Amino acid sequence: MDGRLHVTAKLKQSVLREVFERPARPFETQRREMMAIAGIIPVAKWLAKIKQRSDVSCRLCKRAREQRGASTENLPEETYGHINSAFYDGMATTVTAAHHIIWRHLYASIQAAQTPTSKLRFVTPDKESSMSTLWQEAEFKQICSRESLTEKAADIENPIVVKEHERKRYDFDPTMFHENRFWNRRPDGIMIKKYHRTLYILGFKRSSDKNKDFLRVKEDEANEQHRSIIEALRAAAPEWTFEQINFVAGRRGAVVEDDFYDKLDKLNVQAGKRDKILLAHVQCICEAHDTVMRSYYQQIHGSSGADATMSMENIGEQVYV
DSSP, residue by residue, 9-47:
TTS-HHHHHHHHT-TTS-HHHHHHHHHHHHT----HHHH
Residue 18 included in any domain:
no
Residue 158 included in any domain:
yes
The answer to whether residues 228 and 153 touch, using CB atoms and an 8 Å cutoff, is yes
For the cut 80, the answer to whether the pLDDT of residue 252 exceeds it is: no
**Element at 49 (helix H, strand E):** helix 44-49
Q: How many CA atoms lie within 13 A of 68 on its CB side?
A: 10
Q: What is the mean pLDDT of residues 68-95?
A: 87
Q: Total structural domains in the chain?
A: 1
DSSP letter for each residue of 177-192: HHHHHHHH---SEEEE
Q: What is the mean pLDDT of residues 233-261?
A: 93
Confidence class for position 297, pLDDT limits 50, 70, 90: confident
Q: Could you tell me the pTM of the whole model?
A: 0.83
Residue 212 included in any domain:
yes
Q: What is the pLDDT of residue 316?
A: 53
Residue 289 included in any domain:
no
Phi, psi at residue 82, to the nearest 5°?
Answer: -65, -45
Residue 136 included in any domain:
yes
For the cut 90, the answer to whether the pLDDT of residue 223 exceeds it is: yes
Q: What is the pLDDT of residue 35?
A: 84
Q: What pairing do the DSSP bridges indicate for beta strands 241-250 and 198-207?
A: parallel
CA end-to-end span of the chain:
25
pLDDT digits (tens, 9 = 90+) for 7-22: 443 444 445 555 556 6
| Containing structural domain, residue 146 | 116-249
Residue 277 included in any domain:
no
**Element at 245 (helix H, strand E):** strand 241-250
Q: What pairing do the DSSP bridges indicate for beta strands 121-122 and 241-250?
A: unpaired
Mean pLDDT of the chain: 85
In angstroms, the CA 218 to CA 238 distance is 28
In angstroms, the CA 132 to CA 120 distance is 22
Residue 65 included in any domain:
no
Residue 107 included in any domain:
no
Name beta bridge partners: 320.
314
For the cut 70, the answer to whether the pLDDT of residue 195 exceeds it is: yes
Confidence class for position 124, pLDDT limits 50, 70, 90: confident
> Which of 104, 130, 114, 90 minimizes the C-alpha distance to 281?
104
